[in-house]
């Protein structure tokens, strides 16, 4: 009888162990999941619309690039469309689209008024079942063409159970000459907007949990301090005093920030309650402690510490206890960035004078290298869906911002004027 | 037979010469060539001499900083300990600051570009702090010193060699008040 019980316990244990193992496998399958083949034929104008091809092509091209970037959808090559009859929104021949391997068909129609106001109607069809899945109408002015396409791409993501990211923004520092100011741009590098005009050194911006505020560091009064800028009201508020203050990261719960400060005489990590303004010191060490970064569940903080001689990545509980070292090899690591799914930490390593971006998997302890043999690569930041990262690199001579997928594929440059550094991607849009 | 005679003659000649050489060396040392001494007549131009006190009185803060009355110090790669060869410079800075004790000084810590932005700010501050501690250990009043770190955002020189990096890994001593 006793033996049977132990066997049963062992069996239950095995099953639960297998289940947890299975969970991990499911996620891996998701990442390697075949992408959904999508056909995106040319958009059509309504009968009353102005035939403005510039607007039509811009929306089409932007949507095309978004979907191609997604790693969720795969676009059926344009040249395959010539094998079948031209797309006709009022009489869709689904068999034709099935014959060129499309699973999803996107139909777009434009109504462009004399004042260049646009109404874009999006319709999504499932090809094999010849079924209309969903549709949306977007209205806006000519200068918002790209935004209309990004909205449509986000809608596609949401409909297929993925997180939207195409309307998300990136905050960064742009240097022109000796001036270093903060800018915000679309995820793909378009529509940059300058948000600081102060002629000080501005650096290391980061988003608030609701994406409405930006905390950055500025050398306004000789020593660098943290400032909080409200995007909607335009107001700036001083958050710190005494010593060097920088590298703030807002908690996912929105009520706290962690940051680096030397106000007590040594660079340590502090937690600030954003409601009361109270500071709590988290690290107590004569060495350098810096670059704090929240885990997405708000329970842990990754940071850089030189307590064992060289800068390494550590993780501690949000109260400052239970400190564990994450990086074990190499002698220089910094800039940890926790992935939105909580499973991975991206960071920068210096190995033989080269700076590259690595991703550490907290479950499997695997490390993958995202950049190779191309300049100095710094300050990684994850996309809201965790499939991409933005980072800065001087591979082209000057520092510019680049996007890369979680597995190191599809590196592309998104900025080109001035020098651009320290990018931070917005969090998941609600 | 002929060969033997020749060999004998050669040998005796060699012996004769070596004997002569030795004798000559012992008797009279070889005289070097005649060297004409080249001299330039000293011009009697008097450089205007200013004492440290006069410099301090006459110059503005900007000029004092420009002429670096307080000397810059450099650091080893990834390190923030004061190098042995930089200690005399700090000693000179301390002496000057003790002499003109009303002076307020800002120590700026800087790094070379071979580090991350965040870590370099911390490293630069450690460098500034190391100099501050050294100066206070020599008797300089700590309230006369402020420190700041610019990390790698203000390189002194641009380049990608060790000499450039060495120049950029530095503490600058900026006089902010006389």
ipTM at complex level:
0.85
CB B49 within 8 A of CB B40: no
CA distance B92 to chain A (A): 25
Interface residue B142 vs chain A (CB under 8 A): no
Quick one: pLDDT band at residue A21, thresholds 50, 70, 90? very low
The DSSP string of A302-346 is EEEE-TTSS-EEEEEETTS-S-EE---SSS-EEEEEE-TTSSEEE
Chain A segment 320-379 residues within 8 A of B by beta carbon are 332, 334-335, 348, 350, 353, 355, 376, 378-379
User: Of chain A residues 393-422, which have a CB less than 8 A from chain B?
Assistant: 421-422
Give the pLDDT band (50/70/90) at residue B35.
Answer: confident
Query: According to the model, what pLDDT value does residue A250 have?
Result: 95
pLDDT of residue A241: 86
Higher pLDDT, A30 or A172: A172
Q: Which residues contact A372 (CB under 8 A, 6 or more apart)?
A: A356, A408
Percent of chain B with pLDDT over 90: 58
Q: CB distance B125–A244 less than 8 Å?
A: yes
Distance CA A387, CA A408 (A): 10
Q: What local confidence, expressed as pLDDT, does residue B56 receive?
A: 86
In Å, how far is B122's CA from the nearest CA of chain A? 6
Average pLDDT score, chain B: 85
The residues pairing with A371 across neighbouring beta strands, listed in sequence order, are none
Higher-confidence residue: B147 or A6?
B147
When the pLDDT of each residue in chain A is averaged and rounded to a whole number, the result is: 90
CB proximity B153 to A under 8 Å: yes
The lowest-confidence range among A15-19, A269-273, A280-284 is A15-19
Q: Which residue has the higher pLDDT, A318 or B21?
A: A318
Closest by CA to A296, choosing from A259, A342, A335, is: A342
Section A371-398 average pLDDT: 94
Judged by CB atoms closer than 8 Å, whether chains meet at B119 and A378 is answered as no
pLDDT at B52: 82
pLDDT of residue A233: 92
A1 touches chain B (CB under 8 A): no
Residue contacts between A and B (CB atoms, under 8 Å): 76
The reported pLDDT for the residue numbered A254 is 76
Residue A315: predicted pLDDT:
97
Per-residue pLDDT averaged across A323-339, rounded?
94
Residues of A in contact with B123 (CB under 8 A): 288
Q: How much is the pLDDT for A88? A: 87
**Which pTM does this prediction carry?**
0.84
Question: Residues A102-142: pLDDT tens digits?
Answer: 999 999 999 999 888 999 999 999 999 999 999 999 999 98
Count of CB atoms within 10 A of residue A426's CB? 19
Lowest model confidence (mean pLDDT) among A60-74, A147-161, A401-415, B33-47:
B33-47
Q: Which residues are CB-contacts of A306 (< 8 A; sequence separation ≥ 6)?
A: A287, A288, A289, A312, B119, B122
Q: Which long-range contacts (CB under 8 A, 24 or more apart) does A77-86 make?
A: A81/A39, A81/A41, A86/A41
Nearest chain A residue to B77 by CA distance is: A353
At B4, the pLDDT band (50, 70, 90 cuts) reads: low
- Looking at chain B, which residue has its C-alpha nearest residue A261? B122
| Residue A18 φ then ψ, to 5° | -65, -40
User: Are B117 and A203 within 8 A, CB to CB?
Assistant: yes
Tokens standing for residue A350 = 């210096």
Over range A359-373, report the average pLDDT.
93
Query: What pLDDT shows up at residue B1?
Result: 57
A291/B118 touch (CB, cutoff 8 Å), yes or no: yes
Looking at the predicted structure, is the pLDDT value of residue A350 above 90? yes
Label residue A4 by pLDDT band (50, 70, 90): very low
The highest-confidence range among A29-38, A166-175, B6-15, B40-49, by mean pLDDT, is A166-175
A222 with B146: Cβ contact below 8 A? yes
Q: Residue A387 belongs to what H/E stretch?
A: none
Instruction: Select the residue of B78, B114, B117 nearest A204 (Cβ to Cβ).
Output: B117
Is A288–B115 a contact, with Cβ atoms under 8 angstroms apart?
no
Contact A203 B122 (CB under 8 A): no
B80, pLDDT greater than 50: yes
Asked whether the beta carbons of residue B118 and residue A247 sit closer than 8 angstroms, the reply is yes
H or E segment to which residue A421 belongs:
strand A419-425
Q: What pLDDT score was predicted for residue B36?
A: 79
Name the residue facing B117 among A306, A350, A379 (closest C-beta): A379
| Rounded Cα distance, A337 and A424, in Å | 10
How confident is the model over B103-114, as a mean pLDDT? 95
Q: B126 vs chain A: nearest CA distance in angstroms? A: 8
Better-scored residue on pLDDT, A120 or A428 = A120
What is residue A31's predicted lDDT score, i.e. its pLDDT?
Answer: 55
At B29, the pLDDT band (50, 70, 90 cuts) reads low
Nearest to B124 by CA among B140, B99, B104, B106: B106
In tens, the pLDDT along A391-424 reads 999 999 999 999 999 999 999 999 999 999 999 9
Interface test with A, best of B116, B147, B174 (most A CBs within 10 A): B116
Q: Is the pLDDT of residue A27 over 50?
A: no
Residue B133: phi and psi, rounded to 5, are: -60, -40
Q: Which of B123, B126, B148 sits opposite A222 (nearest CB)?
A: B148
């Amino acid at each position: 009888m006793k033996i049977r019980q132990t066997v049963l316990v062992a069996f239950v244990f095995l099953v639960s162990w297998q289940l947890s193992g299975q969970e991990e496998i499911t996620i891996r399958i998701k990442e390697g999941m075949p992408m959904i083949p999508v056909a995106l034929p040319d958009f059509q104008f309504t009968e009353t619309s102005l035939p403005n091809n510039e607007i039509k092509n811009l929306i089409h091209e932007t949507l095309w690039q978004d979907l191609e970037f997604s790693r969720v959808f795969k676009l059926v090559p344009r040249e395959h469309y010539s094998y079948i009859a031209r797309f006709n929104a009022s009489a869709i021949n689904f068999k034709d689209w099935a014959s060129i391997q499309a699973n999803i068909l996107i139909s777009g129609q434009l109504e462009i008024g004399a004042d260049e106001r646009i109404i874009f109607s999006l319709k999504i069809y499932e090809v094999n079942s010849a079924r209309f899945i969903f549709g949306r109408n977007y209205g806006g002015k000519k200068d918002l063409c790209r935004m209309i396409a990004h909205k449509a791409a986000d809608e596609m993501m949401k409909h297929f159970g993925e997180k939207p990211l195409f309307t998300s923004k990136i905050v960064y520092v742009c240097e022109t000459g000796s001036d270093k100011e903060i800018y915000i741009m679309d995820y793909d590098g378009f529509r940059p907007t300058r948000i600081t005009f102060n002629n000080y050194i501005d650096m290391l911006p980061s988003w608030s949990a609701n994406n409405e505020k930006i905390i950055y560091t500025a050398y306004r009064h000789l020593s660098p301090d943290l400032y909080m800028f409200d995007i909607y009201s335009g107001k700036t508020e001083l958050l710190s005093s005494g010593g060097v203050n920088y590298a703030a990261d807002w908690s996912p719960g929105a009520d706290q920030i962690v940051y680096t400060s030397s106000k007590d005489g040594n660079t340590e990590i502090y937690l600030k309650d954003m409601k009361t303004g109270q500071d709590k010191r988290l690290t107590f060490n004569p060495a350098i402690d810096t670059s704090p970064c929240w885990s997405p569940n708000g329970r842990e903080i990754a940071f850089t510490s030189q307590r064992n001689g060289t800068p390494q990545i550590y993780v501690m509980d949000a109260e400052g206890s239970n400190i564990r070292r994450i990086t074990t090899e190499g002698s220089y690591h910094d800039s940890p960035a926790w992935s939105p799914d909580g499973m991975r930490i991206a960071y920068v390593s210096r190995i033989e004078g080269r700076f590259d971006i690595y991703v550490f998997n907290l479950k499997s302890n695997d490390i993958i290298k995202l950049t190779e043999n191309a300049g100095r690569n710094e300050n990684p930041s994850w996309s809201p869906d965790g499939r991409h990262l933005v980072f800065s690199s001087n591979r082209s001579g000057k520092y510019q911002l680049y996007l890369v997928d979680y597995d190191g594929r599809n590196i592309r440059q998104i900025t080109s004027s001035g020098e651009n550094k320290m990018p931070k991607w917005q969090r998941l849009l609600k | 037979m002929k060969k033997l005679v020749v060999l004998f003659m050669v040998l005796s000649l060699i012996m004769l010469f070596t004997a002569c050489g030795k004798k000559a060396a012992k008797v009279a040392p070889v005289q070097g060539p005649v060297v004409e001494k080249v001299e330039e007549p000293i011009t009697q131009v008097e450089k205007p001499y200013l004492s440290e006190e006069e410099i301090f009185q006459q110059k503005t803060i900007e000029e004092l900083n420009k002429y670096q009355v307080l000397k810059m110090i450099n650091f080893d790669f990834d390190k923030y300990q004061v190098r042995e060869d930089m200690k005399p410079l700090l000693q000179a800075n301390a002496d000057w600051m003790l002499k003109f004790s009303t002076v307020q000084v800002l120590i700026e810590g800087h790094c070379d570009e071979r580090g991350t932005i965040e870590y370099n700010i911390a490293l630069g501050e450690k460098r500034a702090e190391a100099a501050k501690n050294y100066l206070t250990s020599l008797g300089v009043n700590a309230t006369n010193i402020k420190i700041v770190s610019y990390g790698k955002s203000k390189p002194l020189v641009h380049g990608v060699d060790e000499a450039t990096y060495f120049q950029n890994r530095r503490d600058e001593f900026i006089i902010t008040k006389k």
